[in-house]
Amino acid sequence: MATRSTALEEHPSAQPPGSGRSEERSLLTGSEIVCRALEDEGVETVFGYPGGAVIPLYDALPKAGFHHVLVRFEQWAALAAEGYARATGKPGVCLVTSGPGATNLVTGLADAMLDSIPIIAITGQVIQPLIGRDAFQEVDITGITLPVTKHNYLVNRIEDLAPTIREAFHIATTGRPGPVLIDIPKTLFLQKHPYTPAQTVHRRGYQPTSVPNIRQVRLAANAIATARRPLVMAGHGIMLSGATDLFRQFVEKTGIPVAHTLLGLGSFPESHPLGLGLMGMHGHKHVNDALDECDLLLNIGARFDDRATGQVSGFAPNAFVVHVDVDPAEIGKNVHTDVPVVGDAAEVLRLLIPEVEQEHRDDWLAWIDSRRDRALDEALEERPAWPEPYTIIKAIAEATDGEAVVTTDVGQHQMWAAQHYGFDHPDRWITSGGLGTMGFGLPSAIGAKIGRPDREVWAIIGDGGFQMSCNELATAVQENLDINIAVINNGYLGMVRQWQDLFHAKNYSEVKIGAPDFEKLAEAYGITGITVRTDAEIRPAIDRARAIRGPVLIDFVIEPEANVWPIVPPGAANSGMLHQQRYEG
Amino acid sequence: MKNRHTLSVLVEDHPGVLNRVVSLLRRRSFNIDSITVGHSEQPGVSRMTIVVLGRDQEVEQAGKQLYKLMEVLKVTDVTPLNCIAHELALIKVAAKSQTRSEILQIAQIYNARVVDASPTTLLIEATGPEEQVDGLLNMLKAFGIRELVRTGPVAMMRGTSTVGVKEGPRPDRELAVAGNGTVAISN
Ligand SMILES: Cc1cc2nc3c(=O)[nH]c(=O)nc-3n(C[C@H](O)[C@H](O)[C@H](O)COP(=O)(O)OP(=O)(O)OC[C@H]3O[C@@H](n4cnc5c(N)ncnc54)[C@H](O)[C@@H]3O)c2cc1C
Ligand SMILES: Cc1ncc(C[n+]2csc(CCOP(=O)(O)OP(=O)(O)O)c2C)c(N)n1
Ligand SMILES: [Mg+2]
């Protein structure tokens, strides 16, 4: 090879371009083109699982410039890609075979779609002559995933491969981010074509708005100038936009307190006097009270999800509403909006900050503070003997200085973590908000750790959800990932049990869930397992886990019927939230 | 209040685009009254005319959702605009020798043409506003309608205005609000 290329350079006229051997040399297989295109997008890691339709692509992987992580179930490949994306801000990539491999991705794509996470899914498809004939492992994955992807493609020609991949990354990461799927028939992996690095993307039908209309920004500024009890509803969009620094400037200048949506946690420090923490169904009492009382609600990058708003007619009933969102379809979709501002949060804040006055709002802040529920803090003083969920979360927060990346599964433990970890930084809180996908905790922690090996990663998981994806322990071991897994073990599908407790007369139907001995399970995977049964063991177990390199599992056995407080009953307004009557000690 | 809305939708002429549009409207619980697709004056661009039933605000939301499809170039709710909306109907009506001339007269009143005949039927082609076709059908009912096919309307604005897309950034300002500005869109 080497001699031949030297000969060519010395005698460029010996072989005109496009003729014979030189063309042969510049041709890549479809598989190699996929790898090259991914490399050109800066992809470092791909989460995947092989199978018939992608065997030719896997043939090219050993030479590819990125690392392939072999998961144990395709759904977790999608969620690992999400964890990677949420921790790094870069798109995550997953790769699976046709048929069952592809359908196993669907939940992961829906999760990414609802939470606006940029992931790229590559699926193999049966060879072209067999498409449409119910061939072995053929499914219409572009048809199936139409409503759960931002866009999807079935690539028909090898010359379209590289440009399609380029366009897919562009679409996934710009405007309102989201998942994009590329379905590639096996035929194309085997064909050959020259690789031209793809050019900049231009699509007539895709021109997301990023710079807002200055008139709308001024209307927002006017509303702020005249408001007496303004409140910011801080959403995920602030972090998707990379606008946390600008947002902090804005909040500190205007003195407006910040209520966080579940996915907005981390957009503004909770430890800051103006950072209030979680709003909505399981929001803190003073935050939901502030929503009730505010005369201006400035939503930045949140989509007014029903878990955040409660019954819409009772949501922020006295407020003039300003809504900043990059997606025009979110404006007025759920909540009536007085001043829409369509644009990227960072661009909007850049224009808005000079338009607003420096202010202090001591009376308003004092009022909000007076609405805090002190009962919980008091209760926590007299710590019960068994591990109490709030105590566990607070102990992890203390041990990690609030600096860890925390992933969760879905359920009570998720809400306890959201309420009590105290998020001060973006990209540290990784949770499934919109779809509430059980099984999310472990694979997303794997993706997050691979994306940010420099960060400490804690996965806080319920005993139910852990049993959905604990097979990924093998992946964590194979990749030798230093992650800490805290199973909050109540022996129940706790969140469902809580609803049955409160809203279905304690009829505990199918929520008691058995489990293996998690400590032994950990050992079976060759990792350290620790069981914690008393309050006194909490912190030592956490410290031990942190000291061990590689995956560690702590099984926190908690009071089986502990509930998440407060809670807004389904269908009620946030003002109708239920509080803990007395400490269940 | 729910109203019938006529949307003119310009889309890139790609495989699967009709499926994307229809699937999106179904997912958002829209009832499609009629839908027509065909070429537009621009190569590579198809034009759909979609008639849906919905509240003004819902239809506006549908328009904004449609804009999320990569293939959708322009959505205009032409309902309140000064436009021509015509459909085509083919009607096979029973005709005996005694009734044939009466049917022909009725067809004439409605500017419809007879395009085929048999000893027992007449095939009538009618074009015009939906109400006009409804009127014709109403008159023909008594004779016995054997078969009917209607296209649903296609629509175009009167005068010099067009719904065409210009090259360049998508005019997000015009976000489907033509006519029902319930929520002002800022860009
Ligand atoms: C068990 C459970 C309980 C829950 N309880 C609660 C609760 O108590 N409170 C709560 O709030 N949520 C709760 N949720 C989560 C809830 O379902 C939603 O996921 C969450 O409220 C959505 O937050 P968000 O709107 O900030 O984020 P997203 O849903 O991610 O929305 C982000 C918004 O930002 C916009 N955006 C994206 N990029 C940009 C940009 N560059 N600039 C500007 N805007 C942009 C998007 O268009 C979108 O409108 C719960 C979920 C579960 C599973
Ligand atoms: C895939 C999936 N199936 C079902 C649910 C419904 N669900 C929500 S929370 C929950 C209970 C979770 O139990 P566990 O993992 O033990 O967490 P806990 O609530 O006990 O902390 C269930 C079943 C879901 N969110 N996702
Ligand atoms: Mg549980």
pLDDT value at residue A384: 73
* Nearest-neighbour CA in chain A from B87: distance (Å): 28
| Residue pairs spanning A and B at CB distance below 8 A | 71
Rounded distance between C-alpha atoms, residue A209 and residue A220, angstroms? 18
Q: Give the other-Cβ count within 10 Å of A125's Cβ.
A: 29
B12 to chain A: which residues are within 8 Å by CB?
204-205
Nearest CA owner, ligand 1 atom 41: A241
In order of their start, the domains of chain A are 27-194 (3.40.50.970), 214-370 (3.40.50.1220), 375-565 (3.40.50.970)
Q: What is the pLDDT of residues A17-65, one digit of tens each?
A: 444 444 455 899 999 999 999 999 999 999 999 999 999 999 999 999 9
State the distance from the centre of ligand 1 to the C-alpha of B94, rounded, in angstroms.
61
Note residues around ion ligand 3 (Cβ under 5 angstroms).
A 462-464, 490, 492, 494
Tell me if residue A234 falls in helix, strand or coil.
strand
pLDDT surpassing 70 at residue B178: no
Average pLDDT score over chain A:
94
Q: Which residues line ligand 1 (CB under 6 A)?
A: A 115-116, 176, 235-237, 240-241, 261-264, 278-283, 301-303, 305, 307-308, 325-327, 330, 344-345, 410, 414-415, 433-434, 436, 495
Note the Cα A74 to chain centre separation in Å: 17
Residues whose CB is less than 8 angstroms from the CB of residue A2 and which lie 6 or more positions away in sequence, other chains included: none
Per-residue confidence at B82, pLDDT binned at 50, 70, 90?
A: confident
Average pLDDT on B128-154 reads: 97
Q: What is the pLDDT of residues A548-584, one digit of tens each?
A: 999 999 999 999 999 999 999 999 999 999 987 644 4
Check A328 against B185: CB less than 8 A apart.
Answer: yes
Instruction: Give the rounded percent of residues in chain B with a pLDDT score beyond 90.
Output: 75
Interface ipTM:
0.88
pLDDT value at residue A374: 84
Q: What is the pLDDT of residues A393-434, one digit of tens each?
A: 999 999 999 999 999 999 999 999 999 999 999 999 999 999
Burial letters for A187-214: b for 16+ Cβ neighbours within 10 Å, e otherwise? bbbebebebeebeeeeebbbbbbbebbe
Rounded distance between C-alpha atoms, residue A135 and residue B2, angstroms? 45
State the distance from the centre of ligand 3 to the C-alpha of A453, rounded, in angstroms.
29
pLDDT value at residue A12: 37
Nearest CA owner, ligand 1 atom 37: A237
Q: How many CA atoms lie within 13 A of A158 on its CB side?
A: 19
Nearest CA owner, ligand 2 atom 26: A438
Q: What is the pLDDT of residues A330-341, one digit of tens each?
A: 999 999 999 999
Tell me if residue A7 falls in helix, strand or coil.
helix
- List the structure tokens of A199: 């050019």
B64 to chain A: which residues are within 8 Å by CB?
328-329
Residues of A acting as catalytic residues: 74, 136-137, 186, 495
pLDDT surpassing 70 at residue A9: no
Check A204 against B57: CB less than 8 A apart.
Answer: no
Check A171 against B70: CB less than 8 A apart.
Answer: yes
A209 to chain B: which residues are within 8 Å by CB?
172, 187
pLDDT value at residue B167: 52
Global pTM reads: 0.93
B19 to chain A: which residues are within 8 Å by CB?
143, 146
Nearest atom in ligand 1 to A234's CA: 26
Cross-chain CB nearest to A328 (options B24, B57, B172): B172
Q: Is the dihedral of CA B5, B10, B12, B15 positive or negative?
A: positive
pLDDT value at residue A20: 45
Of all residues in chain A, the one with the smallest CA distance to B187 is A213
In order of their start, the domains of chain B are 3-81+161-177 (3.30.70.260), 84-150 (3.30.70.1150)
Question: By the CB < 8 Å criterion, does A215 face chain B?
Answer: yes
Helix H or strand E encompassing A184: strand A180-185
Q: What is the pLDDT of residues A461-474, one digit of tens each?
A: 999 999 999 999 99
pLDDT surpassing 90 at residue B28: no
pLDDT value at residue A19: 43
Check A328 against B183: CB less than 8 A apart.
Answer: no
Cross-chain CB nearest to A328 (options B20, B64, B169): B64
Average pLDDT on A505-531 reads: 98
Nearest atom in ligand 1 to A114's CA: 29
Average pLDDT on A344-363 reads: 97
Average pLDDT score over chain B:
87
Please give the residue that has the higher pLDDT: either B106 or A12. B106
Q: What are phi and psi of B170, to 5 degrees?
A: -65, 130
Check A209 against B70: CB less than 8 A apart.
Answer: no
pLDDT value at residue B50: 96
pLDDT value at residue A6: 35
State the distance from the centre of ligand 3 to the C-alpha of A498, rounded, in angstroms.
10
Rounded distance between C-alpha atoms, residue A296 and residue A366, angstroms? 17
Q: Give the other-Cβ count within 10 Å of A138's Cβ.
A: 18
CA-based nearest residue to A165, from A190, A188, A147:
A188
Note the Cα A363 to chain centre separation in Å: 36
Among the listed ranges A64-78, A376-390, A511-525, which one has the minimum average pLDDT value? A376-390
CA-based nearest residue to A150, from A334, A327, A304:
A327
Of all residues in chain A, the one with the smallest CA distance to B13 is A205
State the distance from the centre of ligand 2 to the C-alpha of A241, rounded, in angstroms.
30
